[in-house]
Structure 1
Amino acid sequence: MNSPHISSVEALRRLYEPTRERSAKKELPELDRHCQQFIALSPLVVVSTHSALASSPGADASPRGGAPGFVKVWDAQTLLIPDAPGNNRLDTLENIASGQALGVAGQAEVGLLFLVPGVDETLRVHGLAVLSTAPAELKACEDERRVPKLVIRVTVQGAYLHCAKALMRSALWDTSRHIERSRLPSMGEMMRDQIAQYRGEAVVAETQAEMLARYRQTL
């Protein structure tokens, strides 16, 4: 009996048309002026990493946000992503730190997806990352709130603009499609229910207003 699972590149490719020539040629080995402008306009990047720890193996994707251009283009092959206060799980940072031990020349593999509000195209970047506390790099990422404790320095190996189809299908920027926040419980309420179900522990749920007020103190 044939398996319904696809387990080879050859079998996968038989389902699809060949890659278009333009799509195959669009990946760049560095950040050209168009990529650099896209990053300068982007207030949000999703950072994809992979854990090398036996205790917590697996892939992770984490959003990082700031004022447009908060990710700094150091040069055509180097990006600096400042760290900002979060929940101190440090999933992304631990993945990079553990990956440095096993990666290429002490660096961990990362993937980046940059978004610009109102623009359906995205920018994909992949490369090798280290966690840096170099004074000049921290200073480059300083903003009106803080000097970061560290930056993720990414050596770019490839970059390309991703077509608009996914965001067009999702209508992400179409305000008429946005839902009222009240359609979902507050994050505190959802976490209360999840901790009770999976940990058997009772916690007090923050309201959405309480949570936002706490967030604003460390933005």
Structure 2
Amino acid sequence: MSQITSLEQLNELYDKPHPLALDKEINQLEQHAIRFIEHSPFALISTTDPRGFADISPRGGNPDFIKVLDNNTIAFADAGGNNRLDSLKNIIANAEIGVLLMIPGIGEVLRLKGTATLHTDNALLEQFTDNKTPKLVVKIHVNTLYFHCPRAIALAKIWHQDSHIDRAFLPSLLRIIQDQSNDTQTQPITG
């Protein structure tokens, strides 16, 4: 198999997209996107590290953990975790961000692209106080968005109970990290 190295080669493999697929990208939040965000308890955020590598991180909470501030702005509190702060550091280095929002049981996903900023002003922090005030809020200015078709979710059967895998094949996260940390020699994968 030969490597695809140009747009021309890539375009030869695929039909042109349907006009609706191109026209569905819009530049501000509207009623359907707002309702989707208000009901979404899970998102993946994509940032870029200072070396130019993409990084993806999950975020989640109650369905209102991401708030719509206006037709071009959403925000969410940093929930704290392992304190690596990869995504937050990436936002400081490069504000461009991608967000993929999901709702359990719904196949469509909402894709957003924009620029992110980090904020500590009290008025904004108070909007995200559940049990305690967060250290900061990530605010995203939305440049483009569109609803993505459910094909990948349907193929993966993510929301189908019968497709859930028994975790017995995989140790706990703590065990995985301990094993990886204790592995002093990197063994190449063959096969």
- TM-score range, shorter-chain basis? over 0.9
- Could you tell me which residue of structure 1 aligns to residue 141 of structure 2? 155
**Contact 1:80/1:141, CA 8 A, preserved across alignment:** no
Q: Are 2:78 and 1:83 equivalent residues in the alignment?
A: yes
CA distance in 1, matches of 2:22, 2:174: 45
TM-score (ref. length: structure 1)? 0.81
Deviation at 1:188? 1.5
Matched AA of 1:135: N
Matches within 5 A, 1:180-191: 180-191=166-177
Deviation at 1:198? 4.4
Matches within 5 A, 1:30-179: 30-52=28-50, 54=51, 57-99=52-94, 108-143=95-130, 145-179=131-165
Q: Which moved more, 1:131-140 or 1:77-86?
A: 131-140
**4+ residue runs over 4 A deviation:** none
CA distance in 2, matches of 1:199, 1:142: 45
**Contact 1:44/1:116, CA 8 A, preserved across alignment:** yes
CA distance in 2, matches of 1:198, 1:179: 31
Matched AA of 1:78: T
Q: CA offsets, 1:16-66, max 9 Å, x none?
A: 0101111100011001110000000000110000012x5xx5210000010
Matched-pair identity in %: 40
CA distance in 2, matches of 1:36, 1:198: 48
CA distance in 1, matches of 2:123, 2:8: 47
- Could you tell me which residue of structure 1 aligns to residue 179 of structure 2? 193
Matched AA of 1:38: F
CA distance in 2, matches of 1:134, 1:30: 25
Determine helix, strand or coil for the equivalent of 1:93. helix
Q: Which moved more, 1:131-140 or 1:156-165?
A: 131-140
Matched AA of 1:120: G
- Could you tell me which residue of structure 2 aligns to residue 29 of structure 1? 27
CA distance in 1, matches of 2:110, 2:148: 6
Distance 1:198 1:9, change over 3 A: farther
Deviation at 1:135? 1.9
User: What RMSD over aligned residues (CA atoms) do the two structures have, in Å?
Assistant: 1.5
Deviation at 1:134? 2.1
- Could you tell me which residue of structure 2 aligns to residue 11 of structure 1? 9
- Could you tell me which residue of structure 1 aligns to residue 18 of structure 2? 20
Matched AA of 1:58: F
CA distance in 2, matches of 1:98, 1:11: 34
Matched AA of 2:60: G
Determine helix, strand or coil for the equivalent of 2:92. helix
- Could you tell me which residue of structure 2 aligns to residue 207 of structure 1? none
Matched AA of 1:157: N
**Contact 1:80/1:137, CA 8 A, preserved across alignment:** no
CA distance in 1, matches of 2:184, 2:69: 44
- Could you tell me which residue of structure 2 aligns to residue 213 of structure 1? none
Deviation at 1:190? 1.3
